Amino acid sequence: MKGELPTYVALGGIDGTGKSTIQHMLADRLSKGGLEVMSFAEPYHDFVKELLEGTQDPWADVLLFALDRWLLRPKLEEWLSQGKALISSRSLYCSVAYQGAQGVVWEDILGANQWESLILPDLYVILDADPSLAYSRSSGREKFEDRGFLAKVRDEYWKIYRESKRFPTRMVMIDAAPSIGEVFEGVLAAVGDVMNLEWE
């Protein structure tokens, strides 16, 4: 693996698009390429996860995720200062998509996160799939796993992608409908292209 090493890559997309699997595969590939990788998911803190499980209020979700990100920020700074590659399942843009689909205005979500002072991903990979397909693949345990709602979230992700120039993060959209192997190859190509990497 040669070229400009990735610093912080985040994966997004509706539930059932394979974020966790792709995250594991990407972390493994980067590790085999000689990088020290920190792979994590939002929410990061257990107490935030527990609080999120107990609420159906969109604003509570916005604020809890914002709290989680700010508590995680010192760790991100430490890992980056150590030269580690970061791979995250979900990021600020996930809140924009999900809570945006619940009716919270983007500017309010971004403001609550004080997003301009957050450590944001260098690359955001959005895994896109039809909600019916994603629903059929999902565990059915997540509170947002409803096909009608997932369709709204997908629309928000497409809006984020179309308006990506307003954010400092580089974004790519990957079709998550094919096999996981094909999707992973697409993600590798996107990471390699955007981050100027040559895979060996």
- The residues that bridge with 125 in the sheet, in sequence order, are 11, 172
Closest to 127 measured CA to CA, from 90, 165, 169 = 90
Q: Read off the tokens for 174.
A: 């990957």
Predicted model pTM: 0.92
Query: Quick one: pLDDT at residue 199?
Result: 67
Q: Which residues contact 59 (CB under 8 A, 6 or more apart)?
A: 99, 104
Q: Which domains can be identified in the chain, with CATH numbers?
A: 2-195 (3.40.50.300)
Query: Quick one: pLDDT at residue 162?
Result: 98
Query: Quick one: pLDDT at residue 10?
Result: 97
Q: Output the 3-class SS for 42-70.
A: CCCCHHHHHHHHCCCCHHHHHHHHHHHHH
Please give the Cα distance from 11 to 22 (Å, whole number): 8
pLDDT tens string, the chain, 200 residues long: the values are 554 555 899 999 999 999 999 999 999 998 988 889 999 999 999 999 999 999 889 999 999 999 999 999 999 999 999 989 999 999 999 999 999 999 999 999 999 999 999 999 999 999 999 998 888 887 655 556 688 999 999 999 999 999 999 999 999 999 999 999 999 999 998 887 776 767 66
Confirm if 195 and 170 have CB atoms less than 8 A apart. Answer: no
